[in-house]
Structure 1
Amino acid sequence: MAKGEDIQSWFLEYQDMNRDDGKNIIVPEGFEKLCEKLDYSMEDINPMVLLWRLNGLELGTIEYTGWESGLREMKAKNEDELRQAIDDTLKRFDKDPAYFKAFYRRLFDYLRVGKQKFISSEYATAILSLVMDKGWAFSKFVEFLEASKDVETVNRDQWQSLLELSKVIKPDLSNYSKEDAWPGLFDRFVDWMEASNSKTAA
């Protein structure tokens, strides 16, 4: 594993040097630079996975302590090994639902602004579009949000419950009940799906 000074010097390549609060932090500009070095498109899921594995505080922001512990956990001491660790993480998502769930839940915190208790529907659709293969409801919910212009935000309960919906409810909705404790928005989502399916059948 890389020595502490190697980890620190690597961090310095991306650290915000214009701070006057003494904090050792990578800000979005530096994070984008790191992603470019790794050949990651900011339109892909890889930057989000990277942020998570480096214990990012918020979107594009990483403290040195998170950077150091993340690299040590991944046993990555250079760009090639870091890239491989992220690839391995993506593969593990497919084999370990609980591991993906931890990542998925953290995404909400990265997407919200400040301490807001919701994220914009625009952000929600953008990220869900990158993980559609992890749950049947993701692609349908994206279509629903795009068709429902009055639904401007998604709260934490709705975000987290969407993954659970994909796990326990059948794609044909045959076991969905409005009497169950799903977020109220999901009743509207299901009504929209049923109406869409009826139009398709017709």
Structure 2
Amino acid sequence: MSKRIDKQLEEKISQFCVVTGASQRDAKKYIEKYKSVEPALNAFYNDMSSRSTPAPSTSKLSQLFDQYKDLDGDEITAEGTLKFCEDLAVNPEDVVLLAVAYDLKSPQMGEWSRKGWVDGWKAIGIPTMKTALLRLRDKLGSDPVYFQKVYNYTFEFSRPPGQRSLGMDMAKPFWSLLLPHGLQGGVLSHIPSTRDVDGDDRMGGVEEGWQDKYMQWWFDFLDEKRLKGISKDVWQMFLEFVRTIDSKFEKYDAEAAWPSTIDDFVDYAKKRLASGQ
């Protein structure tokens, strides 16, 4: 029995070390105190936040940049980005990389400048990048202001140079990454309407909001409309729409300044609801 307990403790310590980059000694201290990995990680991060930890040095960050940059240039492009993801064991399509793109001011998808790389990681200020990614992922799901900044930046850095809109082949995958993460983390929690369908003040009560299935409805609608791209206005306003729309699409204010594309989607969604789809 004791051997099994020792084995479980070793596994927890190992997991803690991999995630945080902490020493075995520190990992053991946190695991023994908090018993399981998740509360131990939370305590570790809280302790890190309360301490004055030195930011990564400019020289070390620049040397790391050199490991991934192109041989014939001074920027990291797709090949270097894939190597960086491989070294950190993160999927290149992980939503956290959109947060990294925002913080490091990526000029285009999968590209990084030396200045953005160095200044961005220094501003993040967490010594190990694996730990930084974990913290950024959590922040992206729990901080509404940060989520909106990353969401809006995603449109800007992924839009082809010279184009005013974002192609549908790019917009859909990014929505599929960002919105589920925001809904799960709570930053897109429903903001209930305070007025009923007749415009009168409504008494308190539970009001359901955006449903998971509506993401596919939105994509189906865009396909039927045969839109080739999404404008900046639609991209930004869609986030507010997801936050505020009720599950029956009854409290949508058609007189408000919504883009016509969203107006048309509400009509489309109401018809699908009425047909029982």
- Please tell me the TM-score bracket, short chain as reference: 0.7 to 0.9
| 3-state SS, counterpart of residue 200 of structure 1 | coil
| 3-state SS, counterpart of residue 276 of structure 2 | helix
Note the alpha carbon deviations across 1:19-77, whole angstroms, 9 max, x for none.
3xxxx311122112111211121232132222222221111111111111111112244
Alignment-derived partner of residue 64 in structure 1: 114
In structure 2, how many angstroms separate the alpha carbons of the residues matched to 1:127 and 1:69? Answer: 25
Q: Which amino acid aligns with 2:172?
A: T
Indicate if the aligned counterparts of 1:128 and 1:138 stay in contact, CA closer than 8 A: no
Indicate if the aligned counterparts of 2:221 and 2:268 stay in contact, CA closer than 8 A: no
Match of 2:232 among 156, 170, 173: 156
Measured at CA, do residues 132 and 45 of structure 1 come closer, stay the same or move farther in structure 2, by a change above 3 Å?
A: same
In structure 2, how many angstroms separate the alpha carbons of the residues matched to 1:47 and 1:94? Answer: 13
Mapping of residues 99-138 of structure 1, within 5 Å: 99-133=146-180, 134=182, 135=188, 136=210
In structure 1, how many angstroms separate the alpha carbons of the residues matched to 2:175 and 2:233? Answer: 15
Note the alpha carbon deviations across 1:126-155, whole angstroms, 9 max, x for none.
111112332437862443223442122111
Indicate if the aligned counterparts of 2:159 and 2:166 stay in contact, CA closer than 8 A: yes
1:35 aligns with 2:85: yes
In structure 2, how many angstroms separate the alpha carbons of the residues matched to 1:126 and 1:139? Answer: 16
Q: CA RMSD in A?
A: 2.0
Match of 1:165 among 237, 241, 248: 241
1:180 aligns with 2:256: yes
Task: Give the drift of 1:164.
Answer: 0.9
Report sequence identity in percent: 23
Alignment-derived partner of residue 42 in structure 2: none
| 3-state SS, counterpart of residue 194 of structure 1 | helix
In structure 1, how many angstroms separate the alpha carbons of the residues matched to 2:97 and 2:140? Answer: 15
Match of 2:67 among 2, 8, 13: 13
Measured at CA, do residues 27 and 127 of structure 1 come closer, stay the same or move farther in structure 2, by a change above 3 Å?
A: same
In structure 2, how many angstroms separate the alpha carbons of the residues matched to 1:41 and 1:137? Answer: 27
Indicate if the aligned counterparts of 2:105 and 2:112 stay in contact, CA closer than 8 A: yes
Compute the TM-score of the two structures, normalised by the length of structure 2: 0.65
Greater Cα radius of gyration, structure 1 or 2: 2
Indicate if the aligned counterparts of 1:120 and 1:154 stay in contact, CA closer than 8 A: yes
Compute the TM-score of the two structures, normalised by the length of structure 1: 0.87
Q: Which amino acid aligns with 1:109?
A: E
Task: Give the drift of 1:3.
Answer: 2.6
| 3-state SS, counterpart of residue 42 of structure 1 | coil
Indicate if the aligned counterparts of 2:99 and 2:140 stay in contact, CA closer than 8 A: no
| Structure 2 unmatched ranges of 5 or more | 1-54, 183-187, 189-209
Q: Which amino acid aligns with 2:219?
A: L
Q: Which amino acid aligns with 1:11?
A: F
Task: Report how many residues are paired.
Answer: 194
Indicate if the aligned counterparts of 2:107 and 2:113 stay in contact, CA closer than 8 A: yes
